[in-house]
Amino acid sequence: MSGRREIVCAPGAPAALGPYSHAVKAGGLLFCSGQIPLDPETMTLSGSTPAEQARRCLENLEAVCAAAGARLADAVRCTVWLRDMAAFGEVNEVYAGFFTGEPPARVTIAVAALPAGALVEVDAIVALDG
Protein backbone atom coordinates (compact mmCIF):
# COMPACT_ATOMS: atom_id res chain seq x y z
CA MET A 1 0.00 0.00 0.00
CA SER A 2 1.31 3.44 -0.87
CA GLY A 3 0.29 6.67 0.83
CA ARG A 4 -1.79 7.62 -2.19
CA ARG A 5 -3.97 4.54 -2.40
CA GLU A 6 -5.27 1.87 -0.07
CA ILE A 7 -6.38 -1.59 -1.19
CA VAL A 8 -9.68 -2.86 0.22
CA CYS A 9 -10.28 -6.58 0.71
CA ALA A 10 -13.91 -7.38 1.53
CA PRO A 11 -14.42 -10.63 3.45
CA GLY A 12 -18.20 -10.48 2.78
CA ALA A 13 -17.79 -10.31 -1.00
CA PRO A 14 -16.88 -13.08 -3.44
CA ALA A 15 -13.18 -13.64 -3.98
CA ALA A 16 -11.75 -11.93 -7.05
CA LEU A 17 -11.67 -14.09 -10.17
CA GLY A 18 -8.50 -12.44 -11.40
CA PRO A 19 -5.61 -10.19 -10.44
CA TYR A 20 -7.61 -7.27 -9.07
CA SER A 21 -8.67 -5.84 -5.71
CA HIS A 22 -12.24 -5.56 -4.47
CA ALA A 23 -11.70 -1.81 -4.29
CA VAL A 24 -9.10 0.92 -3.96
CA LYS A 25 -9.40 4.06 -1.82
CA ALA A 26 -7.76 7.14 -3.34
CA GLY A 27 -8.39 10.86 -3.37
CA GLY A 28 -11.50 10.70 -1.16
CA LEU A 29 -13.13 8.10 -3.40
CA LEU A 30 -13.63 4.35 -3.31
CA PHE A 31 -13.18 2.71 -6.71
CA CYS A 32 -15.05 -0.62 -6.58
CA SER A 33 -14.24 -3.35 -9.07
CA GLY A 34 -17.15 -4.78 -11.00
CA GLN A 35 -19.17 -7.39 -9.18
CA ILE A 36 -20.89 -10.25 -10.93
CA PRO A 37 -23.64 -12.19 -9.17
CA LEU A 38 -21.44 -14.68 -7.34
CA ASP A 39 -22.61 -16.01 -4.01
CA PRO A 40 -19.71 -15.24 -1.65
CA GLU A 41 -20.12 -18.56 0.18
CA THR A 42 -20.33 -20.94 -2.78
CA MET A 43 -18.67 -18.84 -5.52
CA THR A 44 -21.45 -19.92 -7.89
CA LEU A 45 -23.75 -17.65 -9.89
CA SER A 46 -26.76 -16.50 -7.91
CA GLY A 47 -30.07 -15.97 -9.71
CA SER A 48 -31.28 -17.00 -13.12
CA THR A 49 -32.83 -13.70 -14.27
CA PRO A 50 -31.09 -10.39 -14.89
CA ALA A 51 -33.08 -8.83 -12.02
CA GLU A 52 -32.04 -11.55 -9.55
CA GLN A 53 -28.45 -11.29 -10.70
CA ALA A 54 -28.48 -7.48 -10.44
CA ARG A 55 -29.64 -7.77 -6.81
CA ARG A 56 -26.68 -10.04 -5.97
CA CYS A 57 -24.24 -7.72 -7.79
CA LEU A 58 -25.46 -4.76 -5.73
CA GLU A 59 -25.40 -6.78 -2.49
CA ASN A 60 -21.80 -7.71 -3.27
CA LEU A 61 -20.99 -4.05 -3.87
CA GLU A 62 -22.59 -3.19 -0.51
CA ALA A 63 -20.23 -5.69 1.15
CA VAL A 64 -17.23 -4.11 -0.58
CA CYS A 65 -18.32 -0.65 0.52
CA ALA A 66 -18.89 -1.81 4.10
CA ALA A 67 -15.38 -3.30 4.23
CA ALA A 68 -14.07 0.15 3.30
CA GLY A 69 -16.21 1.93 5.90
CA ALA A 70 -18.46 3.36 3.18
CA ARG A 71 -22.00 2.95 1.90
CA LEU A 72 -23.11 2.04 -1.61
CA ALA A 73 -25.82 4.70 -1.21
CA ASP A 74 -22.98 7.28 -1.41
CA ALA A 75 -21.98 6.16 -4.92
CA VAL A 76 -21.29 9.01 -7.31
CA ARG A 77 -21.18 6.82 -10.42
CA CYS A 78 -22.06 3.25 -11.35
CA THR A 79 -21.68 1.23 -14.50
CA VAL A 80 -24.14 -1.56 -15.28
CA TRP A 81 -23.00 -4.13 -17.81
CA LEU A 82 -25.80 -6.19 -19.42
CA ARG A 83 -25.60 -9.19 -21.72
CA ASP A 84 -29.01 -8.20 -23.11
CA MET A 85 -30.28 -4.63 -23.18
CA ALA A 86 -33.83 -6.03 -23.12
CA ALA A 87 -33.21 -6.54 -19.36
CA PHE A 88 -32.79 -2.77 -18.84
CA GLY A 89 -36.24 -2.30 -17.25
CA GLU A 90 -36.13 -5.22 -14.82
CA VAL A 91 -32.60 -4.36 -13.74
CA ASN A 92 -33.64 -0.72 -13.22
CA GLU A 93 -36.39 -1.82 -10.83
CA VAL A 94 -33.90 -3.66 -8.62
CA TYR A 95 -31.27 -0.93 -8.96
CA ALA A 96 -33.72 1.79 -7.87
CA GLY A 97 -34.27 -0.03 -4.57
CA PHE A 98 -30.59 0.41 -3.68
CA PHE A 99 -30.53 4.13 -4.51
CA THR A 100 -33.62 5.81 -3.09
CA GLY A 101 -33.72 9.58 -3.22
CA GLU A 102 -30.73 10.83 -5.19
CA PRO A 103 -29.25 8.08 -7.38
CA PRO A 104 -25.68 8.32 -8.68
CA ALA A 105 -24.71 9.08 -12.25
CA ARG A 106 -24.78 5.88 -14.29
CA VAL A 107 -23.81 4.24 -17.54
CA THR A 108 -25.43 1.07 -18.89
CA ILE A 109 -23.58 -0.90 -21.53
CA ALA A 110 -24.57 -4.02 -23.47
CA VAL A 111 -21.76 -6.55 -23.87
CA ALA A 112 -21.32 -9.85 -25.68
CA ALA A 113 -20.21 -11.77 -22.58
CA LEU A 114 -19.37 -11.40 -18.88
CA PRO A 115 -17.18 -13.51 -16.58
CA ALA A 116 -18.57 -16.88 -15.45
CA GLY A 117 -21.53 -16.54 -17.83
CA ALA A 118 -23.14 -13.77 -15.76
CA LEU A 119 -25.98 -11.73 -17.23
CA VAL A 120 -25.13 -8.57 -15.24
CA GLU A 121 -22.09 -6.86 -13.73
CA VAL A 122 -22.06 -3.61 -11.73
CA ASP A 123 -19.18 -1.41 -10.60
CA ALA A 124 -19.21 1.78 -8.54
CA ILE A 125 -17.25 4.85 -7.53
CA VAL A 126 -18.23 5.91 -4.01
CA ALA A 127 -17.62 9.17 -2.14
CA LEU A 128 -15.86 8.67 1.20
CA ASP A 129 -16.34 10.80 4.32
CA GLY A 130 -13.44 13.11 5.20
Percent of the chain, pLDDT > 70? 97
pLDDT at position 40, please?
Answer: 97
- 84 falls within a domain: yes
pLDDT level of residue 121 (50, 70, 90 thresholds): very high
Q: How many domains does the chain have?
A: 1
- 39 falls within a domain: yes
- 110 falls within a domain: yes
Task: Indicate whether 130 pLDDT > 90.
Answer: no
- 102 falls within a domain: yes
What domain range includes position 121? 6-127
Cβ neighbours for 9, distance < 8 A, ≥ 6 positions apart = 21, 22, 67
Q: How far apart are the first and last CA of the chain?
A: 19
Mean of pLDDT values over 84-109: 97
- 94 falls within a domain: yes
pLDDT at position 129, please?
Answer: 82
pLDDT digits (tens, 9 = 90+) for 17-47: 999 999 999 999 999 999 999 999 999 999 9
Bridge partners of 26? 29
- 1 falls within a domain: no
- 13 falls within a domain: yes
Task: Indicate whether 1 pLDDT > 80.
Answer: no
Please return the burial class of 81, using the count of CB atoms within 10 Å of its CB with bins 0-12, 13-18 and 19+.
Answer: buried
- 115 falls within a domain: yes
Look up the CATH number of the domain holding residue 62: 3.30.1330.40
Angle, helices 50-67 vs 88-98, to 10°: value is 30
pLDDT at position 91, please?
Answer: 98
pLDDT at position 2, please?
Answer: 54
